[in-house]
Amino acid sequence: MASFYSFSPKTTSISFSWPTGITGLERVALSAQGDLQRILSAFFARPIVIALIYSHTFEKRLDGTLSPLSLPNAAAVAAATPDAPLVQNRQVHLQCSGKVVCTATSTVTIYSARCAHLFLEEKFAIGQLFAKIQVTPTFELLDVGVGDLGDRDAEKGVAQGPRLYRKYRLSCAEIECEILEVFARDMFVGGQAWLDDQPVSSVASGTLRVPSKTTLPWLALFSMLVFELYMLSAGRPGCVA
């Protein structure tokens, strides 16, 4: 699927077959191209922290099979190439004030020793890695959906209630990442009130009224949308899990 982002000298366009009922705020988060942490931090006006849930690393053989790799392993990291890449299956939780705001389950294929070192030894998260190597990855939004995935592993840790998910790919010559993210939809309605377990209107009720205490994070996210469009036009990477 081709990238959904396009531009001309005077026009910028983001288009996708969004599910019915998706809100503008949700489209902003779903359109994040490697900088979801930054956008969510602006929305909640609080830091976003990545918590690693699990990671399984492999060497990919010439016949395409995967061989488990124990880390640390400096020799294997230094030997990563397009013909002999390293692969890691992993899941992280994006947390804000101790609450899970997103689960990200990914398969990361590493084609260079440089990226293998940054990702596996220096522990750079995916978005920070692209920023470190100063590369804007190719972004492909593969799927967006509302409701349960039927995948308990991918949904583990997400708050009860309506859910939103997306599948996408970030890639460059040195690394490729396929990522599945799951969100609790009510957090986009309640903002800080949702974080603090205060009563908020639910997406499930069909009422998208935002409590007055959450006006600031909504305005912050709108400001980030403007900045996001600027970043896209400038071709600068951000941060993702």
Rounded to the nearest integer, the mean pLDDT of the chain is 84
Distances (CA, A) of 22 to 18, 47, 59, 153, 179: 7, 25, 40, 24, 20
User: Chain-centre distance of CA 66, in angstroms?
Assistant: 25
Residue 177 predicted with pLDDT over 90: yes
pLDDT single digits (tens) 64-74: 899 999 999 99
* Domain boundaries of the chain, sorted by first residue: 13-234
> What predicted TM-score, i.e. pTM, was given to this entire model?
0.79
Homologous superfamily in CATH for domain 13-234: Chorismate lyase-like (3.40.1410.10)
pLDDT single digits (tens) 19-41: 998 999 999 999 888 789 989 99
Number of other CB atoms surrounding residue 232 within 10 Å: 18
